Each structure stands twice: as structure tokens, then as C-alpha cells.
């Protein structure tokens, strides 16, 4: 009788069946915690459960990235321009007297149009 024990490696640590079940149980406990916190009016419990929710969402995002390979060159480019667009939105809104319409057109151009044009008319991110 062979009793080989499977050792988890780094890539299976949070993506295995047991980890997924534990994550689902965590979400269930957070839901129950929210219900109890709201029903009893305990703000400290509510805040603790909210912090637990943030942790669970971060773990879920990590699992999604590891399983699906979401970090691609195209996604990095789009993410950089979206962050630039958000910075532009807050900067122009706070420090200039431009109208909202002009600000939104500039932000849309930087956050969506520029990466679209770069990905459409260049070979950035293509695996040729």
C-alpha cells in the first residue's frame, strides 16, 4: 500500500479545492457577521466584518489572477491609462476652472481613447 502525501506547492496554495471551500466558508461567515452586526447594532462587529470582507476580496482577486492569468500586457497598459485618467480627473477638477464637460472629455480621451488607439494601431501586447 502506497501512502504518498501530496505536498502543496506555491501555485496550489490558495487555488486548491480546500482553499476554495475555506474561502466560501469565509464569505458565509462574513454574511452572517454583517447580519448579526446590523441586527444587534454592534458597530465594532460591523467594522470588523467589513475588514474581513476586504481581506476576503483581496484573497479572491489573488486567486483570480493566479488561476486565470489576468495580468497581460494589454491589461497593464489599460490600467496605467485608467489611473492616469483618474489622476487627471481629480487634478483638473480641483486645480483648474475648466467646465465639467471639458474635463470629462479629457479624462475619457486619456483613460479610454488613448489605450484603445495604442492597442489598435500598434503591435503592443501581441505575441507575434
Chain segment 93-111, per-residue pLDDT in tens: 899 999 989 999 999 999 9
CA dihedral for 96, 97, 100, 101, sign (positive or negative): negative
Range of the domain at 96: 73-121
pLDDT, residue 117, reads: 92
Report the mean per-residue pLDDT for the chain: 82
Identify whether residues 59 and 86 lie together within a single domain: no
Q: Following DSSP, what letter does each residue of 33-73 receive, concatenated?
A: HHHHHHHHT-HHHHHHHHHHHHHHHHHHHHHHHHHH----H
Residues 24 and 54 in one domain: yes
- Please count the structural domains in the chain: 2
Q: Confirm whether 99 is domain-assigned.
A: yes
Examine the fold and report which residue of 68, 93, 111 is the final residue of a domain before the chain moves on.
68
Give the pLDDT confidence score for residue 8 in this predicted structure.
46
* Pair (57, 81) in one structural domain: no
Residue ranges of the chain whose pLDDT lies below 70 = 1-15, 125-128
63 and 78 within one domain: no
Amino acid at each position: 500500500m502506497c501512502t504518498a502525501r501530496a505536498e502543496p506547492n506555491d501555485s496550489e496554495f490558495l487555488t486548491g479545492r480546500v482553499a476554495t471551500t475555506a474561502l466560501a466558508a469565509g464569505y458565509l461567515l462574513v454574511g452572517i457577521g454583517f447580519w448579526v452586526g446590523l441586527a444587534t447594532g454592534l458597530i465594532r462587529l460591523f467594522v470588523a466584518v467589513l475588514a474581513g470582507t476586504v481581506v476576503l476580496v483581496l484573497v479572491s482577486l489573488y486567486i483570480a489572477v493566479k488561476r486565470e492569468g489576468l495580468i497581460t500586457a494589454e491589461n497593464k497598459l489599460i490600467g496605467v491609462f485608467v489611473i492616469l485618467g483618474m489622476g487627471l480627473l481629480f487634478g483638473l477638477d480641483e486645480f483648474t476652472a475648466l467646465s465639467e464637460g471639458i474635463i470629462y472629455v479629457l479624462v475619457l480621451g486619456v483613460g479610454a481613447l488613448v489605450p484603445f488607439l495604442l492597442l489598435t494601431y500598434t503591435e503592443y501586447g501581441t505575441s507575434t
